[in-house]
Structure 1
């Protein structure tokens, strides 16, 4: 995934980025801090696809990722963007999160593309929420079951599509590179199971992965029109069942905000 601020990459990231940016803005206003700077944790943040743009907004970002290579790329990317002083990379994962960061130390936690690969998604979500301060924002992004089923069917792989539908992990076969997929209901249950409220669910890449890239690249105005279509469909529950990814926004509130 590329930087969400780059136009072509925005097909994959625009919906999440806009929702996340608005949520961080609300969190800044809620904290009432003069610095207008938040402490943000990006678990599984890799090379900084979201961390660097978040740091550009003026926030301090800690990225936890198991890959040394990804963290090296993060360091280089943050330096090139002029935000090296606001981005810190730490080797680790969501299951051992509190071996490397403190509990209740962050205003916002990003958990993007993590739950598909961990042994215990429920524990992963619990740890992400436990890293939040009493008033904080959780941004959760994971692979959607329906999008994979639709993609296999449209490619003519009908048996694989049916297998994904019936598989507990949403996998279409041994060659499937994604270990686990989720429905919107499964993700909201995981978040609500921690005791925090789900504020919104968004379908991500509802159309983008189905539209031929050559059309988007060559047809005048196609990219902008497709971005607007993705944004319009994102919050409609009817499209959650066919989205490639699902985004869940959860927020905890302390007594002063309730």
Structure 2
């Protein structure tokens, strides 16, 4: 359920969190274990890792930044989940220098593919970290959202540059090295051997609405959040989302999920 007291910043993560929490719940039901092993690649200071740990799961965060890992440790301690959160320094390229291959029920790969040299390799490594039945949560910058934002700001040449650039960059000052379409992300997930379970557009409206409209109008934040949630699953809005979220599932997980929903057995 949506919490009307969520700060405006939560609009950036609300849709992803709802999808992720549902995926975790389904894996708990399928495995019969109350606690899952979760890997958060590029997890930084724990925006997702700490809430996941608060649900009772064990989370390993891999991030190249010592400062981010220090903040993660402090954040986990303040949340009372320090014993369930482990931070290790590393990156997607050398993932298995610091993480276990095939050792996780769920892998989060959020805000990573934009910065790696080879996105396909990054996804393959994330998938290789999954157990035979597992779920990948992939979040990356969307091309269409950047084009729309530059155009609405009056930077039409930069919008056209982003549209034509193979990496979706609007110029040399662009802080994001690479952006993706929904088709590109689902192609990477399927190319790594997973089934695409769901695609969501993230921050479809939130980055375009002036903050003053949300902060001063009673009930506006909750209304905007509900609008984001409603539009997230509609393919028509994926092309203008600031970020795109793809949920990938192993074949075994997909079969188990179908069995659970129909009340049957996972065995054929």
Q: TM-score w.r.t. structure 2 length? A: 0.91
Report the counterpart of residue 122 of structure 1 in structure 2: 120
Change (3 A) 1:25 1:126: same
Report the secondary structure of 1:256's partner residue.
Answer: helix
Per-residue deviation at 1:33? 2.1
**Structure 1, residues 225-256: CA drift from partner, whole Å, max 9, x if none?**
00000000000000000000000001998999
Distance of 1:4 and 1:225 partners within structure 2: 9
Higher alpha-carbon deviation: 61-70 or 210-219: 210-219
Change (3 A) 1:69 1:4: farther
Per-residue deviation at 1:219? 0.7
**Structure 1, residues 106-153: CA drift from partner, whole Å, max 9, x if none?**
000000000000000000000000000000010000000000000000
Report the secondary structure of 1:18's partner residue.
Answer: helix
Contact 1:3 1:49 in 2 (8 A): no
Report the counterpart of residue 132 of structure 1 in structure 2: 130
Change (3 A) 1:12 1:85: same
Larger helix share, 1 or 2: 2
Per-residue deviation at 1:195? 1.0
What's the Cα RMSD here?
Answer: 2.8
Change (3 A) 1:3 1:93: farther
Report the counterpart of residue 220 of structure 1 in structure 2: 218
Report the counterpart of residue 252 of structure 2 in structure 1: none
Contact 1:3 1:9 in 2 (8 A): no
Contact 2:26 2:257 in 1 (8 A): no
Report the secondary structure of 2:13's partner residue.
Answer: helix
Distance of 1:2 and 1:256 partners within structure 2: 25
Change (3 A) 1:120 1:252: farther
Distance of 2:201 and 2:242 partners within structure 1: 8
Distance of 1:17 and 1:93 partners within structure 2: 23
Aligned length: 256
Contact 2:139 2:244 in 1 (8 A): yes
Contact 1:47 1:70 in 2 (8 A): yes
Per-residue deviation at 1:60? 0.3
**Any unmatched runs of 5+ in structure 2?**
249-254, 262-267
Report the counterpart of residue 172 of structure 1 in structure 2: 170
**Structure 1, residues 24-63: CA drift from partner, whole Å, max 9, x if none?**
00000010125xx000000000000000000000000000
1:253 to 251, 254, 257: 257
Distance of 1:2 and 1:177 partners within structure 2: 32
Contact 1:196 1:252 in 2 (8 A): no
Change (3 A) 1:88 1:214: same
Distance of 1:78 and 1:106 partners within structure 2: 20
Contact 1:2 1:9 in 2 (8 A): no
Distance of 1:4 and 1:140 partners within structure 2: 27
Distance of 1:253 and 1:126 partners within structure 2: 22
**Structure 1, residues 160-202: CA drift from partner, whole Å, max 9, x if none?**
0001001000000000000000000000000000111000000
Higher alpha-carbon deviation: 180-189 or 211-220: 211-220
Per-residue deviation at 1:73? 0.1
Per-residue deviation at 1:218? 1.0
Per-residue deviation at 1:75? 0.1
Contact 1:4 1:17 in 2 (8 A): no
Contact 2:41 2:62 in 1 (8 A): yes
